[in-house]
């Protein structure tokens, strides 16, 4: 049994097929799925999915690509949504320095506000980091450990970054890229993550693991990510899966 700790089931590529997707996930032992928002409408949709399907849990947050119109009203609305009993985290939030993504200072401001909201509501944070490693680490170090911790989702950094995040109480979650044939450094970072801080996810509909690279992703494929982690660690999947599941439930403590 496994949990997909990050899948955007509200994405138009997945939403219309969500029941088939849940069936396929359950068939391979994926018993729960965390569905993070990336703006207000997608966070609202995540909650709606969680209300309709007992295996889905929601997270709410503003992804750094979607902060252009964030103001005090929308942050208040986010806070209200986060009190919903099926919301297990604030996310996804973070920094994204790939070209075309809005102003970095503003990204940092909105990221900090949401980290503080996670702390205030005693929820874990789901953190996105793309080509922003140094500023991301500086921000989470400055804020300090969150009362309920958080996860570095779809981890793409170095062993050093993994170690620093672990020191601050964060879990490290791996997605499809750890399975890619040309991935060299990323698999090496897995050994630096304590076994009780390791998570797996799909980041559906993106980043399908091997052997489905390039195809639309879905939660059933989290098995391939977990199997790769087991292979890297020299363990059996049957031995690692319950550890990953226990870690996910410990972090997302509202998930039952
Ligand atoms: Ni995501």
Nearest to 201 by CA among 127, 111, 119, 114: 127
**Cα(130)–Cα(239) distance, integer angstroms:** 31
Ligand 1 centre from 92 Cα, in Å?
6
Dump pLDDT digits (tens) for 68-122: 999 999 999 999 999 999 999 999 999 999 977 779 999 999 999 999 999 999 9
Which uninterrupted H or E stretch holds 152? strand 150-152
Question: What local confidence, expressed as pLDDT, does residue 184 receive?
Answer: 86
Ligand 1 centre from 146 Cα, in Å?
20
Ligand 1 centre from 154 Cα, in Å?
8
Ligand 1 centre from 184 Cα, in Å?
22
Which domains, ranges and CATH numbers included, belong to the chain? 2-251 (3.20.20.140)
| Residues with a beta carbon under 5 angstroms from ion ligand 1 | 92, 203
Question: What local confidence, expressed as pLDDT, does residue 100 receive?
Answer: 74
Ligand 1 centre from 254 Cα, in Å?
20
Question: What local confidence, expressed as pLDDT, does residue 99 receive?
Answer: 78
Average pLDDT, the chain: 96
Question: What local confidence, expressed as pLDDT, does residue 225 receive?
Answer: 98
Q: Mean pLDDT across the stretch 142-149?
A: 97
- φ/ψ of residue 133, rounded to 5: -50, -50
Dump pLDDT digits (tens) for 163-203: 999 999 999 999 999 999 998 899 999 999 999 999 999 99
Question: What local confidence, expressed as pLDDT, does residue 101 receive?
Answer: 75
Is the four-CA dihedral 191, 197, 144, 78 of positive or negative sign? positive
Please say whether the beta carbons of 62 and 92 come within 8 A: no
Please say whether the beta carbons of 125 and 253 come within 8 A: no
Ligand 1 centre from 237 Cα, in Å?
24
Question: What local confidence, expressed as pLDDT, does residue 7 receive?
Answer: 98
Please say whether the beta carbons of 113 and 131 come within 8 A: no
Q: Mean pLDDT across the stretch 128-155?
A: 96
Q: Mean pLDDT across the stretch 5-19?
A: 97
Question: What local confidence, expressed as pLDDT, does residue 256 receive?
Answer: 81
Ligand 1 centre from 120 Cα, in Å?
23
Question: What local confidence, expressed as pLDDT, does residue 195 receive?
Answer: 98
Nearest to 91 by CA among 131, 38, 135: 38
> 3-class DSSP state for residue 32?
strand
With a cut of 90, say whether residue 22 has pLDDT above it.
yes
- In the 3-class helix/strand/coil scheme, how is 98-110 assigned residue by residue? CCCCCCHHHHHHH
Nearest to 47 by CA among 57, 34, 39: 57
- Per-residue tokens: 214: 């390039």
**Cα(138)–Cα(144) distance, integer angstroms:** 10
With a cut of 90, say whether residue 250 has pLDDT above it.
yes
């Amino acid at each position: 049994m496994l949990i997909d700790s990050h899948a955007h089931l509200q994405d138009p590529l997945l939403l219309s097929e969500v029941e088939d997707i849940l069936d396929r996930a359950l068939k391979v032992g994926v018993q729960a799925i965390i569905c993070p928002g990336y703006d207000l409408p997608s966070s609202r949709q995540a909650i709606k999915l969680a209300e309709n399907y007992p295996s889905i849990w929601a997270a709410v947050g503003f992804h750094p690509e979607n902060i252009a119109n964030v103001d005090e009203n929308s942050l208040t609305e986010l806070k209200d949504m986060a009190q919903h009993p099926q919301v297990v985290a604030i996310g996804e939030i973070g920094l994204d320095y790939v070209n075309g993504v809005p102003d970095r200072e503003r990204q940092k401001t909105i990221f900090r506000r949401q980290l503080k909201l996670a702390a205030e509501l005693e929820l874990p944070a789901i953190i996105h980091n793309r080509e922003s490693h140094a500023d991301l680490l500086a921000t989470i170090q400055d804020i300090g450990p969150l009362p309920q911790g958080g996860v570095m989702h779809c981890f793409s950094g170095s062993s050093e970054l993994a170690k620093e995040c672990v020191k601050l109480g964060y879990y490290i979650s791996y997605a499809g890229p750890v399975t890619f044939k040309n991935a060299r450094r990323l698999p090496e970072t897995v050994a630096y993550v304590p076994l009780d801080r390791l998570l797996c996810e799909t980041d559906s509909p993106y980043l399908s693991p091997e052997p489905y690279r390039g195809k639309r992703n879905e939660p059933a494929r989290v098995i391939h990510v977990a199997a790769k982690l087991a292979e890297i660690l020299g363990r059996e999947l049957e031995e690692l899966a319950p550890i990953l599941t226990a870690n996910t439930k410990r972090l997302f403590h509202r998930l039952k």
